[in-house]
Amino acid sequence: MLSHILLINCPDQSGLVYKVTGILYNKYDLNIIRNGEFVERNFNHFFMRTEFSGEFDREELLQDLYAVLPENVDIKLTDRRKKDIVLLATKEHHCLSDLLIRHTFNELNANVLCVVSNYDVLEELTRKFDIPFHHVSHIGLSREAHEAAVLETIQQYNPEFVVLAKYMRILSGDFVAHFTNRLVNIHHSFLPAFVGANPYAQAYERGVKIIGATAHFVNNDLDQGPIIAQSVIPVDHTHSAREMAQAGRDVEKNVLAKSLKLVLNEQVFVYRNKTIIFE
């Protein structure tokens, strides 16, 4: 049976859990499969994620919830259906390969609608998996013109989420604004260390003993959006910058996959540039 997912966040007050479970249990007799709550204590903000099954009228349920919850509540009622996603890439294959393989074997809770890239080097790979590939070259185009072309390509598919699977072009605030909390990036570094380009060269130069990767939503500033997942591996002086990059690639693809699992299963809230995650 299809699971429904209810995501609620609002200023905290007494009785919120009682009120929500009252509607789900008392009025609709829905079967709660999993339930989690969290109160952020700096701002006293309440988060609740409930997975349930059963029959109900969507509009009526929402109205009932709005009636008992604070005025400025944010409610999302979604379900476990596969989400439509579009992947952007440039030349590096490792994140794209990993996602295409997972998609092929039905391990990603998503329909990969297409791949968009500013190079054609990953076209052959993409076509092996019978996914449309759009080569939108930036050669000869202004940044704005290229971005507009990429945006138009994406919008044909109307995806719920867009994934930057090692897409190496900086995106403008205008572009990003189309996909608030829906644009996931993998940053080849353990943010906030080594923001920007060539993090592995920076890491080598600095002689760090651990490197890592960060998956995050892109909401405005480069590399500054809400962090979804991070992971690290040890390195040492025997690693050249190139070997750090090689080692880093495995971390990058694992962290991106993990973050997508959380996002696609609707386990992630964004609040004040941070994520609240129900695992």
- Residue 207 binds a second copy, judged by CB under 8 A: yes
Q: Which is nearer to a second copy, 117 or 147 (CB)?
A: 117
93 vs 188, which CB is nearer to a second copy? 93
Q: Which of 128, 170, 173, 178 binds a second copy (CB under 8 A)?
A: 128
One of 87, 191, 218, 244 touching a second copy (CB under 8 A): 191
Q: What share of the chain is helix, strand, coil (3-state, %, to 5)?
A: 35, 30, 35
Bridge partner residues of 3 (DSSP): none
In the bound complex, what is the minimum distance in angstroms from residue 229's beta carbon to a second copy?
Answer: 6
Residue 118 or 126 having the CB closest to a second copy: 126
> 166-184: string of b/e by CB count within 10 Å (b at 16+)?
bbeeebeeebbeebebbbb
User: Of 74-93, which residues contact a second copy (CB under 8 A)?
Assistant: 93
Q: Tell me the angle at which helices 241-264 and 199-206 cross, rounded to the nearest 10 degrees.
A: 130
**CA-closest candidate to residue 276, choices 102, 33, 5, 48:** 48
DSSP code for 170: P
- Please list the active-site residues: 223
Read off φ and ψ for residue 194, nearest 5 degrees: 55, 50
Q: Does 133 bind a second copy (CB under 8 A)?
A: no
Nearer to a second copy by Cβ, of 173 and 234: the residue is 234
- Which residue in 227, 260, 263, 264 binds a second copy (CB under 8 A)? 227
CA 189 from centroid of its chain's CA atoms: 17
Omega before residue 192 within 30° of 0, cis: yes
Binding site for a second copy (CB under 8 A): 14-15, 17-18, 21-22, 25-26, 29, 31-42, 93-94, 97-98, 101, 104-105, 107, 125, 128-129, 190-194, 206-210, 212, 226-232, 234, 236-238, 240, 246, 250, 254, 257, 273-277, 279
